[in-house]
Structures are given as C-alpha cells and as structure tokens.
Chain A
C-alpha cells in the first residue's frame, strides 16, 4: 500500500512500518566508506547551478525534512515528486540512500502531500526531477551520514574522521559498531553540516547510483494489486460521481432534465457545476454531475440525463479546415524568433531552394488510468487523494475554487496510472472537491475513457514549413523554419495566437545545425480547445518536421541519410548564443546555458551510436529500410535508428536503437525502461494517434477510434545505448527526450523501405 506522510506531526516515522523489499542481490558493490578524508573530498561533488532555484518555491535540501531514522534502523525517505512510471519515487530516494550509506532493504519511502513551502517545488514535469534534485539528494544523504558519524564519534570519544560508515552501520577503528537505529536519536539531533563540511563519495564509491540494480519501491504492490492509484482510495460513506461535460470547450447546458437520472436506483443527487473555458488555467469544464452510491449507478444515471447543450464560441471548430489555414499561414512570413546571418540574402543568392510542410494532429495523453480524484470536504477542511503531477498547484487551485485557505486543504498524492502531462492539470480534483461540498460526503469523481479522450488538455496541432537555400555544390546556405501551432499560453491567458519562447525553444529556435543563415518564425494560430503539454511538448512537431526534412533533403541531394545529418550538425562545437543568433529570450529548458550548453558533438555521438547499433548501411531485403533521427530535448541528446519492415502493407518495426546522453545516468535501469516506453509512445503517435474536431467537439472517444500500439505490433526489439558519464557531467532529462526522434526516424525508415514519404502525423499504420 502507498504510505502517506502524516502532517499532524513533524515526526515522519509515525505510522511508517518497515517494509522489506524483495530485490536482486547487489553484486560488486563499493567498499566501506570512511570519513577519514574529512572535508577533503568536496571536489568529489562540485555543485553547479540549475534552473531549480527559479522554479516556484525552489529546492529544499534540509535532511530533517526528507530523512528520518527509526530506532529499529528503518530509514524513512520522503518522495516529493509524483510517480507516474518514470521510477522517480524510487530514484531520488536511492540517491539519498547511496550518499547516506543506508541499506536500501531497510529504506521505506513515504509520499509527500502537496506542500511546496515544506518540500520545495513538486511539479513533476519537464523531465527535471533528477536534473534539479540529484544535488539536493546527495547533499541530504551526505549530511545525514556525517551526522551519524559525529554522533557515534561523540559517544565513543574519538575523532569523527576516524569512523567508517558502511551499509547502515558506523564503525570505530577498534571494531566497535553502532547501527543507524541505535544512533538515530543523537544523530538526528546533530546540527546539519554545511556542504563544505561533508566528505562526499567519489563516483567509484557509489553503491546504487549509476548501477541500475535497485528495483522500484512499488514493484511488489503493483504485481499483487495492492498499489494505490487515484480511484483506489475508498472512504467510509464515499459517493461516486460521473459528469456530463459540455462537448465543446466553453459551452454549457442550455437546459437539462435530471428526473430520469434521479430515478436510477443508487443515484443520490444531480448537480450542475460552474462552467469553464479557455484561458481559465485548469478550471473544470463544468457540466452536469450525477452522484451515486457506486460507479455503475452513476454511469446509468449519467446516461439517463437529458441535456441540451449550447456550444459557445468554439462551436465551429473544424480541425480539417483549421489545418488548411495553418498550412497557408506557414507559407507566409511570421513573427521572427531567431535570426542568424541574413536569410533573405541566402535565398536571393541560392542556386536552388527546397521546402516541405509537415503537419501534426492534436493528440491526447490517454494514460491507462483515466483522471480520478477523491475529495472529502468537512466544512472547515478539505482532504484530497488524487494522482496529480503538480500536487501543490492542485491544492492551491482547488482551495481557490472553493474559497478556502490553502492551509485548510490537504493534498495526498497517490500513484499515477500514467501522466504524460495530463495530470499536471487537476481539473478533476476541483470537480471532486466541489461535489463533496455539495453532497456533504466524500466523493470520488471518475472520468470514463470517453471523458478522457473528449475533455483533455490536448497536445497542440501544427503545420511546420521548412525551406532551405542551396548553393551550386548542394550545400545548405540558409534554413527557414515557419511554425504554426496554437499555444499552451491560451490555457492560461487570453490568446494572441503566438507561441511562448519555451515552445519555440523546444526543437525550433535551438536548431543545432551549422548553417550560416537561419531564421525561425512563428505564424498565428488561435486555440479552439484546451491546449496543454503532452510528453515532450513542442519537440514532437518540431522534431517531426526537422527530422523528416533532413531525410528528404538527403534524398533530394542524393546523399546518405547519416552523412546528411552529420553534415548539418557540423564539427563538434558548443553553440554560442550570440554567434548562433539565439533569441535573447531563448529558453534552454530553464537551465543556464553555461552549465547546460548545446553541444553538437554529443548530438553526433548519439546519432552514431544508434546508427552503428542497428548496423546502418547494411543490405536489407526488399520492403525493409532504416531511418535515422536525432534530437536534443530537456537538455538530453537522443539518437534513434529504426528499421521498418512492411508486412502485408502494414508498418512493422522489428528493431529500434535509442542512444541517450543524459549526462550522469543515475538509474540506468529506469532510463532503459523510459527509452523502451518512448519507442512505443513514439510509434503510437507516428502511426495511430490523432484527435480531430467537428463542430467544436472531439470526434474520437475510446480505443476503437483512438488506437495505440499494442503487443501485436510494437517496436519489437528496442536496444538502449546509454552514454556513460561521471557525476560531474550534469544529469539531465530522461522521461521525455526519447519520444521526439522516434516518429521522424520511422518516417525516414518507411521511405527507405518503400519510397513512400509521409508528412502528416499520424501517418497511418498501412501503406
């Protein structure tokens, strides 16, 4: 079962019980760690700046907040990031445990509620959990190890520099030993040492970091059905609600008749919720809620509602027509975001030009667990249990919606049955809270799959036009990229049709190619549905366009695909924001460029590793082809080499190699699982996933018309190559960077296999 932190006391060990985890043996672990070189090994961990400080409520690295030790030796570590499948609920505590010399088998993990003033930023998105928190985790682990050593040395009357800390024990030179449990009280009462006072491990002394031998903490519970997700929270007297939401965003019920719904046995109430729309952040869409004793009664009750909807301002939205408009916009000059050299001159002097347009439909996240939340309003307090990526935001938003002080709201975080960005937007939490207040009982709001497909915060739709100027020798002298896509901004503020620098920076303005003249422009596209972030965000359409175009350009110029990529990337260099003409407001995933620069050598390296891995260049049978793509996103570099084989006209993927450079690889086993997952999600969005609109409403509704990759046709053999680095090469993103290069690699492979070029996502599974 998922364990929650008690907030009634600061003693986080309350109600926490030892849970021995089944795990594989740890072979070849590092030896004992001694504090002998006290303060002499700070160079083992040179701190560096990240964007963490700029996140709301930043970083908290107080070990007394995150670490507690029970007298029986149980070490309790707080996971403050949300677990949606990346393994982060285990990986950050693993870093603490490693630096602390705690035995992982004696570590219990408790999930923090949404409380950023206490824990620091908890937004689990942007592939930044490890990137932002690995330093704090090491610092806290090192601090507690130091405190344990000092407590033991005090008791023994010896110099702390002479004690050794190893696997849950502190040892004196004369052989005396004290366990962490025995030292718990005196150790945790020690002053917390500063960074300079801590003798950190060298890389060679890491026990868990970089090894990939620690299993995720929830593994057993997941396989026995005991793991607790949002809908699994059962409270005494709890009711279940299903909501009929307006089919068109910004619409509302003109009239409704609930009498038949109320006749359904088990239905206890019908309530109309306040309506939302665009530019209202994560506010619920409103609608008619049926509250019942159980899910089945609520389902039948909702089916029995008679509602006449009015569409509101977006009732004319047609995604087919909108796509034609976006493509036309992409033909015209837009707002300039990056301007390197003189693009007009490059095109004026070009021997020839070459251009193509690539499109992408809206997409929905459809995590296996549709949104669900449990809320219990008791007049002066509100307690919530929900699968949320941003628990503190959910808490603040819901408090505001109910007119409560945030201090009156407790936001418990369950496991997330997938998130992919959808569960950063907790409209479902607010719905549950509003309904609990209405009915005076705990309420679970359950979204059906149809609700999820039709009422999401969708991935943007886009048209991307890329055109190059070429000289006589076929060298690219100018690159112009025009992107047209409704912006996430429209969810937060009145729309002006233009994107934010952070969207432009995801794969367009950061183009790492060595070309003298580059211009990136954005055309206007107004949002007509709620636009939200989806795993990898704007990198998906940008990498799709850039990666496909490189493949097309290679063919156009009669060059080898791999050589085309390497020619465009150029010699290994660190991009210079000024010389490369990056925008002044360039968004480097929130990270300082000095610490997290764009290094083209790393890009070429992952491309080559993927290409070499798959045996690029070898002879293949008729109907097979290899495609390549490489992309930097979330400060990591991923190369993808995919082999496509046509079987009875169906696109199959017998083999895919993903090479990732994410700096120091803290948990390689979970990095591999994220790459395997990225291959599947990338193939899904390449072949299957498209949300379309007619008369303002989503056309699709469930897996029969919004299909995903299944085990009958998945990337069959995904091989992950991880570029190894020491800790000093900063850890970067893992959850998202694998996705963007997959679709263009598949399109390039399809072309290599069949000569068919697809320029729209989804491209369809059949040829």
Chain B
C-alpha cells in the first residue's frame, strides 16, 4: 500500500504506484478540489504541491509521491483564507471556477519562491494554467494583490 502525506495526514493511496497522483487524490481520498483538465500536463487544472512545489498531479505518480508531503487546494490554508484565496475573492476572479484551484496552487508556489514577482514573472509562472473562461486579467491582478497588497 502506497502512503503519502496528504494535507498533513498520512493517507493510503492504493497499491498501484503508476497511478497518477490526480486520480489517487480524487478517486481514492475523495478530495475533489483538484481537477482533471487534460491529463497531459498542459492545462494546470490538477496542480498540487509536492514538498511545497507546484506539480501537475496528472503527470506525477503516487509512486513518485510516496512518503512525501502533498498539498491540494483543500490543504492550502486551514481556514481557506490564504492571502491568494482572499485576493481571488476580493477581485471576483472566477467565472466557471473549474480551473481556479489549480491557478491558486500554481500562484501559491510562485509566491513561496518569489514573494514579490514582477508582472512578467507572474505571467510566465502562470502561463501553463489554462482558463477557458478567460479570467487571466483578474488572475494576474489577484496574484499581484496577494503579493503586494495592492
């Protein structure tokens, strides 16, 4: 049985080490905030943190994640009030909302590494997170708001 540390809790995620972390998190633990969007690492809807770094959970196997700290949107902040989540609400970012967990996880990883990114650094870091509704303008503004307070 493969075990990972999901949102701070040791969690069993089946016995197939080839299973993508995405499906293990969703189907085996029932944490559905992490979304399937493309399955090939091109849209970012499934972004989680592994040891604090953004990873595409559709491209990361549970075998690779064994024993490591995996954080999904549900575990980003105990009360759901991470400064990025607050900024997302302040600026009314989402339309359909489906990609937003992945967007927020990607942005959280960016700010952890680079607390005051320039706009170009934000755009570059977020460029593989697709939003088909087209919320980019507000996404970038929300990352900026969370990082600078304005």
Which residues of A are in contact with B by a Cβ distance under 8 Å?
Answer: 22, 24, 83-87, 215-216, 218-220, 222-229, 231-232, 234, 240, 265-266, 294-296, 299, 366-370, 415-420, 446, 448-450, 669, 673-674, 676-681, 702-704, 708-712, 714-718
Q: Is the CB of B98 within 8 A of A369?
A: yes
Asked if A703 meets B40 with Cβ closer than 8 Å, knowing A368-B130, A417-B96, A708-B130, the reply is yes
B39 at interface, CB cutoff 8 A: yes
Best-surrounded residue of B26, B92, B140 (most CB of chain A within 10 A)? B92
Q: Is the CB of B27 within 8 A of A449?
A: no
Interchain nearest-CB distance for B100 vs A (Å)? 5
Interchain nearest-CB distance for B95 vs A (Å)? 3
Q: Is the CB of A368 within 8 A of B45?
A: yes
Residues from chain A with a CB closer than 8 A to the CB of B128 are 710
Which residues of B are in contact with A by a Cβ distance under 8 Å?
Answer: 14, 16, 18-20, 23-24, 26-28, 30-40, 42-43, 45, 72-74, 80, 85, 88-90, 92, 94-101, 104, 122-124, 126-140
Complex CA distance for A678 and B74, rounded to whole angstroms: 30
Complex CA distance for A484 and B105, rounded to whole angstroms: 46
Asked if A415 meets B97 with Cβ closer than 8 Å, knowing A704-B42, A711-B140, the reply is yes
Residues from chain B with a CB closer than 8 A to the CB of A704 are 40, 42
Asked if A224 meets B35 with Cβ closer than 8 Å, knowing A85-B97, A714-B134, the reply is no
Best-surrounded residue of A225, A674, A712, A715 (most CB of chain B within 10 A)? A225
A-B contact pairs, 7 of them (CB 8 A): A222-B101, A265-B16, A367-B132, A369-B37, A703-B43, A703-B130, A711-B139
Residues from chain A with a CB closer than 8 A to the CB of B85 are 223-224
Asked if A368 meets B96 with Cβ closer than 8 Å, knowing A225-B32, A295-B26, the reply is yes
Complex CA distance for A716 and B120, rounded to whole angstroms: 12
Residues from chain B with a CB closer than 8 A to the CB of A87 are 95
Residues from chain B with a CB closer than 8 A to the CB of A229 are 32, 35, 98
Residues from chain A with a CB closer than 8 A to the CB of B137 are 676, 714-718
Q: Is the CB of A225 within 8 A of B73?
A: yes
Q: Is the CB of A223 within 8 A of B94?
A: yes
Residues from chain B with a CB closer than 8 A to the CB of A710 are 127-130, 136
Interchain nearest-CB distance for B34 vs A (Å)? 7
Q: Is the CB of B96 within 8 A of A369?
A: yes
Q: Is the CB of A367 within 8 A of B96?
A: yes
Interchain nearest-CB distance for A346 vs B (Å)? 41
Interchain nearest-CB distance for A499 vs B (Å)? 27
Q: Is the CB of B124 within 8 A of A415?
A: no
Q: Is the CB of B100 within 8 A of A222?
A: yes
Residue of B nearest to A229 (CB): B98
Q: Is the CB of B35 within 8 A of A369?
A: yes
Q: Is the CB of A702 within 8 A of B38?
A: yes
In the A-B complex, the 6 residue pairs with the closest CB atoms: A225-B33, A680-B134, A417-B98, A85-B96, A85-B95, A222-B97
Best-surrounded residue of B27, B33, B42, B43 (most CB of chain A within 10 A)? B27
Q: Is the CB of B45 within 8 A of A223?
A: no
Residues from chain A with a CB closer than 8 A to the CB of B80 are 220, 223-224
Q: Is the CB of A224 within 8 A of B33?
A: yes
Complex CA distance for A370 and B35, rounded to whole angstroms: 10
Residues from chain A with a CB closer than 8 A to the CB of B92 are 215-216, 219, 669, 673
Q: Is the CB of A676 within 8 A of B96?
A: no
Contact of A673 among B26, B123, B138 (CB under 8 A): B138
Residue of B nearest to A300 (CB): B18
Interchain nearest-CB distance for A327 vs B (Å)? 30
Asked if A415 meets B96 with Cβ closer than 8 Å, knowing A223-B80, A232-B32, A294-B23, the reply is yes
Q: Is the CB of B74 within 8 A of A224?
A: yes
Beyond the given A225-B72, A294-B28, A711-B139, could you list 20 further A-B residue pairs with CB under 8 A, ordered by the A residue number?
A: A85-B94, A87-B95, A216-B94, A223-B94, A240-B27, A294-B14, A294-B27, A368-B35, A418-B98, A419-B96, A677-B95, A677-B133, A703-B130, A708-B130, A710-B128, A710-B130, A712-B127, A714-B134, A714-B136, A715-B137
Interchain nearest-CB distance for B64 vs A (Å)? 14
Q: Is the CB of A708 within 8 A of B27?
A: no
Q: Is the CB of B73 within 8 A of A231?
A: no
Residues from chain A with a CB closer than 8 A to the CB of B132 are 366-368, 418, 420, 681, 708
Residues from chain A with a CB closer than 8 A to the CB of B14 are 294
Residues from chain B with a CB closer than 8 A to the CB of A416 are 96
Complex CA distance for A678 and B42, rounded to whole angstroms: 22
Interchain nearest-CB distance for A759 vs B (Å)? 25
Asked if A227 meets B134 with Cβ closer than 8 Å, knowing A449-B38, A702-B38, the reply is no
Residues from chain B with a CB closer than 8 A to the CB of A448 are 39
Complex CA distance for A223 and B91, rounded to whole angstroms: 12
Residues from chain B with a CB closer than 8 A to the CB of A85 are 94-97, 133
Complex CA distance for A419 and B39, rounded to whole angstroms: 19
Residue of A nearest to B82 (CB): A223
Complex CA distance for A367 and B98, rounded to whole angstroms: 9
Q: Is the CB of A226 within 8 A of B33?
A: yes
Q: Is the CB of A225 within 8 A of B74?
A: yes
Residues from chain B with a CB closer than 8 A to the CB of A708 are 130, 132
Asked if A223 meets B95 with Cβ closer than 8 Å, knowing A295-B27, A296-B19, the reply is no
Contact of B27 among A223, A225, A296 (CB under 8 A): A296
Complex CA distance for A416 and B24, rounded to whole angstroms: 23
Complex CA distance for A697 and B43, rounded to whole angstroms: 24
Residue of B nearest to A222 (CB): B97
Complex CA distance for A659 and B73, rounded to whole angstroms: 36
Complex CA distance for A226 and B33, rounded to whole angstroms: 6
Best-surrounded residue of A219, A223, A681, A703 (most CB of chain B within 10 A)? A223
Q: Is the CB of B94 within 8 A of A222?
A: yes
Complex CA distance for A703 and B89, rounded to whole angstroms: 28
Interchain nearest-CB distance for A719 vs B (Å)? 10
Best-surrounded residue of A24, A222, A226, A717 (most CB of chain B within 10 A)? A222
Residue of A nearest to B37 (CB): A368
Best-surrounded residue of A224, A299, A712 (most CB of chain B within 10 A)? A224
Complex CA distance for A234 and B122, rounded to whole angstroms: 35
Complex CA distance for A224 and B135, rounded to whole angstroms: 17
Interchain nearest-CB distance for A424 vs B (Å)? 15
Residue of B nearest to A676 (CB): B137
Q: Is the CB of B97 within 8 A of A680?
A: no
Complex CA distance for A714 and B98, rounded to whole angstroms: 19
Residues from chain B with a CB closer than 8 A to the CB of A299 are 23
Contact of B23 among A295, A366, A417, A669 (CB under 8 A): A295
Residue of B nearest to A420 (CB): B132
Complex CA distance for A22 and B86, rounded to whole angstroms: 10
Residues from chain B with a CB closer than 8 A to the CB of A450 are 39
Complex CA distance for A88 and B23, rounded to whole angstroms: 31
Q: Is the CB of B94 within 8 A of A676?
A: no
Q: Is the CB of B40 within 8 A of A219?
A: no
Complex CA distance for A681 and B95, rounded to whole angstroms: 13
Q: Is the CB of A449 within 8 A of B97?
A: no
Residue of A nearest to B31 (CB): A225
Residues from chain B with a CB closer than 8 A to the CB of A417 are 35, 96-99
Residue of B nearest to A212 (CB): B92
Residues from chain A with a CB closer than 8 A to the CB of B97 are 85, 218, 222, 227, 415, 417
